[in-house]
Amino acid sequence: MALLINKCINVKTLNRCHKVCLTNRILRQCTRSNSVVILDKRKNNLHNIEDLKRQIHYTNVALKSVAFKLSDIGEGIREVVIKEWFVKVGDKVQQFDNICEVQSDKASVTITSRYDGVVTRLYHEVDQTALVGQPLVDIEVEGMEEEVSSTPTKVEGSIKSDVSASSVLDNSNTKGKVLTTPAVRRIASQFQVNLNSVPATGRNGRLLKEDILAYLNITSDKSNEVPNLPNEPVVEVKAKPEIILEDKVVPVTGFTKAMVKSMTEAMKIPHFGFSDEYNVTKLVEMRETLKQITLKRGVKLTYMPIILKAASLSLLKHPILNSSLDSSCENIIYKASHNIGVAMDTPNGLVVPVIKNVQNKTVLELAKELNLIQEKGAKGQLSLSDLSGGTFTISNIGNVGGTYTKPVILPTQVSIGALGKIQKLPRYDEEGNVKPAHILTVSWSSDHRVIDGVTIARFSNDLKSYLEDPYLLLLDL
């Protein structure tokens, strides 16, 4: 036992311990002194203290494992996905070293360390989800306390400045710009906190977000909330009663059922569209003149009877537009009669009654038949014979409003036209002068399996010539 003690304790070790005890005794007497007089008595010992400080340097090292948590990265983000780790267990890290890269639903963010130490644990694997406020890694942090090296400096400063010992020992009242991040300054401005009054625990006096959250005694989630200031008026919001609505189920019947069936078949047809505008100024003038004459005969004259007759004359020049494909799509059937359907809005929905044998009727006869069909449609008295047998269709959307549209072909027809609203617009005449003109927009759709673009364009040009100069109808009637 004596041999073991001699090996562990020698004269050199005892001398070092004696020096340490002596130094501590002198320092404690200097720091506990409350007057300059005591400090003056120790002036002669300062040189000895400095010599001892150069010869002796000892620290108390405390290792502590800290859970490094995922801080609030703003934008209301509550969870992220780990995309890449820059450290592994056992790596030594310093403040602001990259820890990992995370991906939110808005951006990629690189997370940096706030501590100096050694990584002891990773809480997530790559592509796993991490929640804000939950630990990312564990870091073993080293805490350093240097008692000997700090005290003599304060004592020496007190002697040179000849001030009281209490003011010498307190150097924590220095005010200046606080070292911190924009996120911390935002929270301080939001909660009206003086950053100089918040204790900083970061490296080199850096004020961390955890410091101000601890000072305010709030969580990271509540840092995004705007506090209610005492001077702000509180507005009471009254909740509106919620009205619960119920869906209504209506069976598909009547004209709607027929339209569902026909439009389903129509979408199997490859449509080709063509649009143009007609200057119908002369047609408007002629219709105003004929309107007074037909009223005396008890007939209401609209633009539609004139357009139907002009369309029939144009179909004579382009009979393929008045045709249909057979069920096997191997033969084209040219129709002898011009049975032109007219789309009409009724209380029962959109219907398409058919004016049969338009090529054999005058404009006045067509006007009478249209008046009769409109009365029957308003009363819901249209029969099956009134709605079947059409070979060509014209829809007039101008009664409701609108200019251009894309009409859908009715099977088994191969073409359909839609008339827009007649508008009074500025146009150039033949001499280059701007004059008001009545413009009619027309849209055509054709079955591209049967009709090409040139054919529908030529048909539209023929109809355009009749409507722009209605007196040509007299030559071809």
Q: How far is CA 69 from CA 66, 131, 210, 372, in A?
A: 9, 9, 10, 83
Confidence label for 157 from pLDDT (cuts 50, 70 and 90): very low
- By DSSP bridging, strand 117-122 and strand 135-143 are antiparallel
pLDDT of residue 188: 81
Q: What is the pLDDT of residues 370-401, one digit of tens each?
A: 999 999 988 888 888 888 899 999 999 877 88
pLDDT above 70 for 129: yes
Burial class (CB in 10 A: 0-12, 13-18, 19+), 93: buried
pLDDT of residue 162: 39
pLDDT of residue 365: 95
pLDDT of residue 225: 59
Element (H, E) at 82: strand 79-85
pLDDT above 70 for 298: yes
448 is catalytic: yes
Q: What is the pLDDT of residues 247-297, one digit of tens each?
A: 999 888 766 777 888 889 999 999 999 999 999 999 999 999 999 999 999
Q: Which two tokens stand for residue 78?
A: 């509550």
Maximum average pLDDT range among 151-160, 190-199, 235-244: 190-199
Annotated active-site residue in 438, 448, 462, 469? 448
Confidence label for 52 from pLDDT (cuts 50, 70 and 90): very low
Residue 473 CA to residue 313 CA, distance in Å, equals: 8
pLDDT of residue 172: 40
Confidence label for 448 from pLDDT (cuts 50, 70 and 90): very high
Residue 339 CA to residue 358 CA, distance in Å, equals: 6
pLDDT of residue 411: 92
Of residues 173 and 464, more confidence is placed in 464
Average pLDDT, the chain: 78
pLDDT of residue 232: 54
- By DSSP bridging, strand 349-351 and strand 340-346 are antiparallel
Q: Which two tokens stand for residue 17?
A: 């311990």
Annotated active-site residue in 452, 462, 469, 476? 452
Share of the chain above pLDDT 70, in %: 73
pLDDT of residue 17: 46
pLDDT of residue 305: 95
pLDDT of residue 105: 61
Of residues 416 and 252, more confidence is placed in 416
- Confidence (pTM): 0.51
Confidence label for 189 from pLDDT (cuts 50, 70 and 90): confident
The pairs formed by 47-50 with CB atoms below 8 angstroms and a separation of 24 or more are: 49/23, 49/152, 49/155, 50/152
Residue 277 CA to residue 403 CA, distance in Å, equals: 9
pLDDT of residue 233: 60
Q: What is the pLDDT of residues 307-363, one digit of tens each?
A: 999 999 999 999 999 999 998 889 999 999 999 999 988 887 788 999 999 999 999
pLDDT above 80 for 234: no
pLDDT of residue 103: 78
What are the beta bridge partners of residue 351? 344
Give the 3-state secondary structure of residue 165.
Answer: helix
- Residues across the chain: 477
Q: What is the pLDDT of residues 83-116, one digit of tens each?
A: 889 998 989 888 888 888 887 765 677 888 888 8
Q: How far is CA 112 from CA 85, 126, 199, 204, 352, in A?
A: 11, 17, 22, 16, 73
Helix axes 303-317, 453-468, angle to 10 degrees: 130
User: Which range is least confidently modeled, 152-156, 181-185, 190-194, 411-415?
Assistant: 152-156
